[in-house]
Amino acid sequence: MKVQGKEYRAVWMDGRDVVVINQPLLPHRFALLRLKNHRQTAHAIRTMIIRGAGTIGATAAYGMAQAYLENANLDRAYALLLHTRPTAVDLKHALDRVRAAARTPAEAVAEAERIADEYVARAQRVARAGFPLIKSGSRVLTHCNAGWLALVDWGSAPAPIYLAHRKGRQVFVWVDETRPRCQGATFTSWELKQEGIPHKIIADNAAGYYMHRGEVDLCIVGADRIAANGDTANKIGTYEKAVLAKENGIPFYVAAPSSTIDLQCPTGDHIPIEERDEDEVHYVTISGRRLRVTPTGTQAGNPAFDVTPAHYITGIITERGIIAPGQLRRVFR
């Protein structure tokens, strides 16, 4: 994807460094960050300097390659990277692939590069699979950020939108702000602006209003882990949108590469849900200044994800086409 006319990926490797887009600085400042060793790379994943299931996976793979280059203890490096974020299954898949494929640093780097390239190729196929859903004049609602920042390039949920726009179809996007970290307001809107796609940012609790008024034609969201039965974990608030879409007769799609499907996880009840620091709820940051918005001494709950049951999902947009949630085992076995 292009930023100010130059093409970027969300993460890549340059020598021994892992280079990432410093996402917390967006949308007001675009800057790159060089991660010099696997510990810095693990820290970047844990602290959400990078985020999004695919980008997490690719970054973890590069971090594992760094451990090989550093002649580090590979078991310890693997464990450090593995435990940075528990919900996104891509992270473990990527680490396991590097460990299985590599005996030398060169082999580790090559496997990590293959993983990143595969994410991009799958995202392009997700774009083509979902493209027929985007008619000219479509009004799409999305939640959180599953764009190119979250999947190395192209993305998952917005990928069909990007392709439709580039092919000349008129499309409009309702962008949920996605509290508490506001990934929709911060990242999705920034990406859409780079692409020149018309959109409006709305408060998370405004989606039902626009659905009820008939101003949403379909919903497309990403995923951090999809269970074998089609239950899907995505950013907190996704479940609410799925229920509202069902009530209002609006198709609700999940877009994700096959690496996000965990056939070893039978249902959404088995997906671990990350509980993040409650300060993410208590504070907002405006122009570099951190402000508390809740009374001192109060507590906050901060689950990072929720699970949408499969019966609310119209279809899952993958690189192999749009799959009914109940057919995942048959297609991806």
Each domain of the chain, given as residue ranges in start order, spans 2-124, 130-332
Residues with Cβ within 8 Å of 220's Cβ and at least 6 positions away in sequence, in order, are 130, 133, 140, 141, 142, 157, 158, 160, 161, 253, 254, 255, 317
Of 314, 175, 305, 205, which is closest to residue 255 (Cα–Cα)? 314
Q: How many CB atoms neighbour CB 198 within 10 A?
A: 12
**% of the chain surpassing 90 pLDDT:** 93
Local structure of residue 119 (DSSP, 8 states):
H
Q: Of the listed 224, 231, 262, 306, which one is catalytic?
A: 224
Handedness of CA 111, 113, 117, 119 (dihedral sign): positive
CATH class of 130-332: alpha beta
Cβ atoms 144, 176 nearer than 8 A = yes
Cβ atoms 11, 50 nearer than 8 A = yes
CA dihedral 319→324→327→329, nearest 10 degrees, is: 50
**Mean pLDDT computed over 251-268:** 95
pLDDT, position 73: 97
Q: How confident is the model at residue 133 (pLDDT cuts 50, 70, 90)?
A: very high
Q: How many CB atoms neighbour CB 98 within 10 A?
A: 27
**Mean pLDDT computed over 283-299:** 87
Q: How far, in Å, are 16, 33, 55 from residue 12 at the CA level?
A: 11, 11, 10
**Mean pLDDT computed over 173-194:** 95
pLDDT, position 287: 60
Residue 145: pLDDT above 70?
A: yes
Phi and psi angles of residue 102, each rounded to the nearest 5 degrees, phi first: -110, 130
CATH class of 2-124: mainly alpha
In the chain, the DSSP E strands lie at 2-3, 6-7, 11-14, 17-21, 32-35, 138-142, 171-176, 199-202, 218-221, 225-227, 232-235, 252-255, 261-262, 283-286, 289-292, 305-308, 315-318, 321-323
Q: How many angstroms separate the CA atoms of 254 and 313, rounded?
A: 7
pLDDT, position 89: 84
Residues with Cβ within 8 Å of 205's Cβ and at least 6 positions away in sequence, in order, are none
Per-residue pLDDT tens over the stretch 83-124: 999 887 889 999 999 999 999 999 999 999 999 999 999 999
Residue 226: pLDDT above 80?
A: yes
**% of the chain surpassing 70 pLDDT:** 99
Q: How many angstroms separate the CA atoms of 100 and 119, rounded?
A: 19
Give how far the C-alpha of residue 9 lies from the chain's centroid of Cα atoms, to the nearest Å: 14
Annotation marks residue 277 as catalytic:
no
Residue 286: pLDDT above 80?
A: no
Mean pLDDT taken over the chain: 95
pLDDT, position 42: 98
Q: How many angstroms separate the CA atoms of 211 and 216, rounded?
A: 5
pTM metric for this prediction: 0.92
Handedness of CA 214, 250, 53, 106 (dihedral sign): negative
Of 44, 312, 59, 1, which is closest to residue 187 (Cα–Cα)? 1
pLDDT, position 288: 65
Q: How many angstroms separate the CA atoms of 27 and 270, rounded?
A: 35
